[in-house]
């Protein structure tokens, strides 16, 4: 075990024990205090990456009844949240897209359409990654695009670090997937997780269409901003991309004609999206997602072995645990107490600025911690802080979940960044500086969306 991991575990337990053993402050129940201790423990373990994320979640599930925050039956039943099954179905759909080759075909089709000049190829990497991340997890998109972008770099003879275009290309790979991942429930599982926490707290929901209408335009404009920023920040030191175009053509040719399996997966995916749009509220997103997964097996489009190889089942533990922690903070009064303590500092802030404080906090927290963990930790507290302000909890979900997906600077922020960085075409300082500038641009754009666009949709402050 590394020094960092050992240190994280020691600090996590020390903080947890310190909070449990401290006298209970006025206005906080014993259950609330213990919930905050578990919250702090998870926070430190998640930030320090001391244990696998899902193991930390599992640990929290056990601690909740042990420290008498929630009854054991309540704690464990949160694993059965519909959101967990929605995410599971979405991962199986993504596995089918990857296994059938449909996702690679879509990525290549996009890139070939854009690959006429260095500038358009750069745009192609951003937009094809972004578009794919609308429909499958952003990490999977980055992993899928990684070998393609590497081959482009080799074809263009781009030198790691030395080539400015190479730096831009690999940052485009990460940023496209990240920005696309905020637009739907499929790109980042933190979005449905936020939905699950909303449902546990307020018995409210957001439909697939409502999410897409509220966030997709922001995501698309942000992809354009990424393109401009990379062009301006790194420039183009390549004149001709015809060799890259040849590589893309060869790869597309090697795929052959569209297979029966690809067509089948495409049809199931299309019908699933239609069902989410048309009857998501009636049937529930999770039921549709699981039905789609079943359909893939019925029509022999994927087998169980492939699903087992493509999906890490820790996903169930992670999301079940994250919902349990958020619910425990809410039901024990822990979140309300933090809100009460913080009230003096933010009292008097207009709702818009409070929402922006949440957005900035989420956007920066996500650089150091898994974005799922950022949502699980922040959302219950933000709900508590906004109680009585007249702001809809739905708006709070958006201002936490969307910026929590915008990790641009550090490899530890999201696997998409780690993948792109691992190729060695850009240095940490490149992504740190460019990512910080892009983050500011993204937050400014997000503020405009919250202030000007969302009120048109009826998302009140």
Partner 1 sequence: MKRVLLILSASRVSNSCVDGALDAAGGENAELVVLFILDTAMPHDVQERMSDAGFLGEAPSGRLLRAMRRELKRQGISELAEVARAAEKRGITHRTELVEGEFLSRALEAAQTEAPAVIFVAKRERAVLSRLVSGSRAEELKDAAPCEVKIHEGGDS
Min separation Cβ 330 and partner 1, Å: 25
CA distance 441 to 7: 35
Q: Which of residues 390-409 bind partner 1 (CB under 8 A)?
A: none
| Residue of the chain from 68, 113, 162, 345 that contacts partner 1 (CB under 8 A) | 162
* CA-wise closest residue to 44 among 76, 78, 6, 70: 6
| One residue of 427, 448, 451, 460 binding partner 1 per CB under 8 A | 427
Give the residue with the Cβ less far from partner 1, 69 or 98. Answer: 98
Residue whose token pair is 């750069």: 122
Report the candidate in 425, 432, 452 with the shortest Cα–Cα distance to residue 146: 425
Q: Which of residues 87-116 bind partner 1 (CB under 8 A)?
A: 91, 95, 98
Pick from 415, 434, 450, 459: which binds partner 1 (CB under 8 A)? 415
* Token couple for 283: 């049937």
The three-state secondary structure class of 450 is helix
Phi, psi of 91 (to 5 degrees): -65, -40
- Three-state secondary structure readout of 393-440: HHHHHHHHHHHHCCCCCCCCCCHHHHHHHHCCCCCHHHHHHHHHHHHH
Neighbours of 432 (CB within 10 A): 14
Q: Which part of the chain contacts partner 1 (CB under 8 A), choosing from 18-26, 133-141, 240-248, 249-257?
A: 133-141
Of 106-114, 154-162, 199-207, 450-458: span binding partner 1 (CB under 8 A): 154-162
Q: Which of 422, 451, 455, 457 binds partner 1 (CB under 8 A)?
A: 422
H/E segment holding residue 324: helix 314-331
Stretch that binds partner 1, among 206-214, 304-312, 344-352, 441-449 (CB under 8 A): 304-312
CA distance to 12, 35, 126, per residue, from 50 (Å): 10, 20, 32
Q: DSSP readout, 150-183? A: HHHHHHTTPPTTT-HHHHHHHHHHHHHHHHHTTS
Q: Give min distance, CB of 332 to partner 1, in A.
A: 27
Out of 228, 270, 312, 347, name the contact with partner 1 by CB under 8 A: 312
Kindly identify the residues of this chain, within the stretch 164-223, that bind partner 1 according to CB under 8 A. 189
387 is a contact residue toward partner 1 (CB under 8 A): no
Q: Is residue 372 within the footprint of partner 1 (CB under 8 A)?
A: yes
Complete DSSP assignment for 217-235:
HHHHHHHHHHHHHHHHHH-
For the bound state, the minimum distance from the C-beta of residue 135 to partner 1, rounded and expressed in Å, comes to 16
Q: Is 303 in the site for partner 1 (CB under 8 A)?
A: no
Of 217-276, binders to partner 1 (CB under 8 A) are none
| CB contact at 8 A, 416 and 172 | no
Give CA–CA dist 400/297, Å, rounded. 36
Binding of partner 1 by 418 (CB under 8 A): yes
Which residues are CB-contacts of 82 (< 8 A; sequence separation ≥ 6)? 196, 199, 284, 285, 286, 287
Please state the closest distance from residue 14 (CB atom) to partner 1, in A.
16
Q: What is the DSSP string of 179-208?
A: HHTTSSTTT-THHHHHHHHHHHHHS----H
Q: Which of 161, 274, 278, 298 binds partner 1 (CB under 8 A)?
A: 161
Which lies closer to partner 1 via its Cβ, residue 157 or residue 249?
157
Q: Is there binding between residue 434 and partner 1 (CB under 8 A)?
A: no
For 259, other C-beta atoms within 10 Å of its C-beta total 14
Closer of 113 and 427 to partner 1 (Cβ): 427
CB 281, min distance to partner 1, A: 27
Residue of the chain from 311, 360, 436, 437 that contacts partner 1 (CB under 8 A): 311
Query: For partner 1, which residue of 275, 315, 325, 401 counts as binding (CB under 8 A)?
Result: 315
Q: How far is the CB of 315 from partner 1 (least distance, A)?
A: 4
**Considering the complex, what minimum distance in angstroms separates the CB of residue 370 from partner 1?**
5
- Least Å distance, CB 318 to partner 1, is 7
CB of 196 to partner 1, least distance (A): 16
Q: How far apart (Å, rounded) are the C-alpha atoms in residues 343 and 378?
A: 16
Q: How far is the CB of 45 from partner 1 (least distance, A)?
A: 12
Distance CA 318, CA 52 (A): 9
End-to-end CA distance of the chain: 47
C-alpha span between 378 and 180 (Å, rounded): 22
Closer residue to partner 1 (CB): 174 or 461: 174
Given the structure tokens 């909303």, which residue do they identify? Answer: 198
Measured from the CB atom, the residue of 53 and 355 that comes closer to partner 1 is 53
Closer residue to partner 1, CB minimum distance, 164 or 336:
164
Q: Which residue has the tokens 């997709």?
A: 216
Q: Which residues bind partner 1 (CB under 8 A)?
A: 2-4, 7, 49, 52-54, 91, 95, 98, 137, 139-140, 143-144, 146-147, 150, 154, 160-162, 189, 306, 308-312, 314-315, 318, 370, 372, 410-412, 414-415, 418-419, 422-424, 427-429, 432
């Amino acid at each position: 075990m590394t020094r960092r991991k050992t240190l994280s575990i020691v600090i996590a337990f020390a903080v947890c024990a310190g909070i449990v053993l401290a006298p209970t402050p006025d206005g906080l129940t014993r259950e609330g205090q213990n919930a905050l201790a578990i919250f702090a423990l998870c926070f430190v373990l998640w930030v320090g990456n001391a244990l696998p994320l899902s193991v930390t979640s599992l640990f929290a599930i056990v601690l909740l009844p042990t420290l008498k925050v929630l009854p054991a039956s309540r704690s464990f039943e949160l694993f059965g949240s519909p959101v967990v099954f929605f995410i599971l179905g979405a991962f199986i759909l993504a596995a089918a897209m990857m296994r059938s080759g449909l996702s690679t075909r879509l990525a290549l089709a996009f890139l070939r359409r854009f690959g006429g000049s260095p500038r358009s190829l750069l745009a192609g990497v951003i937009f094809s990654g972004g578009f794919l991340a609308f429909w499958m997890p952003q990490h999977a998109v980055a992993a899928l695009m990684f070998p393609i972008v590497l081959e482009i770099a080799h074809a263009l003879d781009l030198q790691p670090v030395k080539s400015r275009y190479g730096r831009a290309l690999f940052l485009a790979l990460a940023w496209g997937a990240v920005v696309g991942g905020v637009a739907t429930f499929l790109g980042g599982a933190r979005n449905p997780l936020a939905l699950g926490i909303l449902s546990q707290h307020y018995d409210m929901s957001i439909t697939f269409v409502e999410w897409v209408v509220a966030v997709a335009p922001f995501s698309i404009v942000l992809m354009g901003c990424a393109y401009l920023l990379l062009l301006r920040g790194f420039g183009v030191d390549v004149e001709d991309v015809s060799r890259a175009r040849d590589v893309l053509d060869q790869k597309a040719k090697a795929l052959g004609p569209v297979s029966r399996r690809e067509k089948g997966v495409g049809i199931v995916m299309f019908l699933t999206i239609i069902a989410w749009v048309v009857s998501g509220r009636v049937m529930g997103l999770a039921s549709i997602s699981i039905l789609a997964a079943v359909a893939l097996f019925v029509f022999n489009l994927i087998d169980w072995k492939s699903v087992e190889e493509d999906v890490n089942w820790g996903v169930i533990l992670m999301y079940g645990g994250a919902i349990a922690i958020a619910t425990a903070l809410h039901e024990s009064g822990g979140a309300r107490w933090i809100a009460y303590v913080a009230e003096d500092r933010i009292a008097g802030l207009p709702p818009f600025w409070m929402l922006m404080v949440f957005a900035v906090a989420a956007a920066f927290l996500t650089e150091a911690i898994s974005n799922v963990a950022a949502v699980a930790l922040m959302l219950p507290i933000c709900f508590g802080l906004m109680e009585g302000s007249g702001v809809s909890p739905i708006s709070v979900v958006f201002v936490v979940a969307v910026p929590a997906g915008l990790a641009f600077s550090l490899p530890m922020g999201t696997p998409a960044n780690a993948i792109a960085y691992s190729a060695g075409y850009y240095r940490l300082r490149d992504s740190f500086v460019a990512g910080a500038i892009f983050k500011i641009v993204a937050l400014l754009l997000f503020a405009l969306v919250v202030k000007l666009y969302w009120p048109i949709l009826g998302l009140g402050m």
